[in-house]
């Protein structure tokens, strides 16, 4: 998977957030990105189960700087992972990922925190539309 081919990322922190994304975003129109370090506290199996509820959507599990979590995620079938490039074992994990046809990102992509946007309001829907269109700004999240 080429990095330039990834759609805009939205942080998925719960089943509720996932359902909201699936309701408001065209199918496959966003990268479902786990919370930072989720491989360590949620686990790759739970992430795979969550992502399986959105077939056809690209998803990435964030492993923070934990190489062991990244390797466990690869064993669990995750094929797009985030592992901090400063991790001493980054090159080894990247090699393992490549052997499996997986992609290892060296940093979290910029992601929209959808949980803090009120999509019942036009401003919230506009913010989401701008994000999906690649018009990212530095304004604080809408509530």
**CATH code where residue 47 lies:** 3.20.20.70
**Residue 118 placed within a domain:** yes
Is residue 142 in a domain?
no
Residue 14 falls within a domain, yes or no? Answer: yes
Work out how many domains the chain is built from and give that number: 1
Half-sphere CA count of 77, side-chain side, radius 13 A: 7
What's the pLDDT tens digit per position in 81-93? 999 999 999 999 9
CB 79 within 8 A of CB 90: no
Q: Is 79 left (phi over 0), alpha (psi -120 to 50) or beta?
A: alpha
pLDDT at 50: 97
Q: What is the domain extent for residue 58?
A: 3-132
Report pLDDT digits (tens) over 16-64. Answer: 999 999 999 999 999 999 999 999 999 999 999 999 999 999 999 999 9
Please indicate, yes or no, if residue 139 is contained in any of the structural domains: no
Question: Is 12 part of any domain?
Answer: yes
30-41, pLDDT tens digit by residue?
Answer: 999 999 999 999
137 is a domain residue: no
- For residue 143, tell me if it sits in a domain: no
């Amino acid at each position: 998977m080429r990095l330039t081919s990834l759609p805009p990322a939205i942080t998925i922190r719960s089943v509720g957030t996932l359902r909201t994304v699936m309701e408001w975003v065209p199918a496959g129109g966003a990268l479902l990105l786990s919370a930072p370090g989720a491989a360590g506290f949620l686990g790759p199996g739970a992430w795979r189960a969550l992502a399986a509820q959105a077939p056809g959507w690209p998803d990435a599990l964030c492993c923070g700087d934990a190489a062991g979590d990244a390797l466990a995620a690869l064993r669990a079938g995750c094929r797009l992972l985030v592992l901090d490039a400063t991790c001493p074992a980054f090159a080894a994990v990247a090699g393992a990922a490549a052997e499996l046809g997986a992609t290892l990102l060296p940093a979290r992509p910029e992601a929209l925190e959808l949980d803090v946007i009120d999509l019942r309001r036009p401003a919230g829907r506009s913010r989401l539309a701008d994000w999906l269109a690649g018009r990212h700004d530095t304004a604080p999240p809408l509530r």
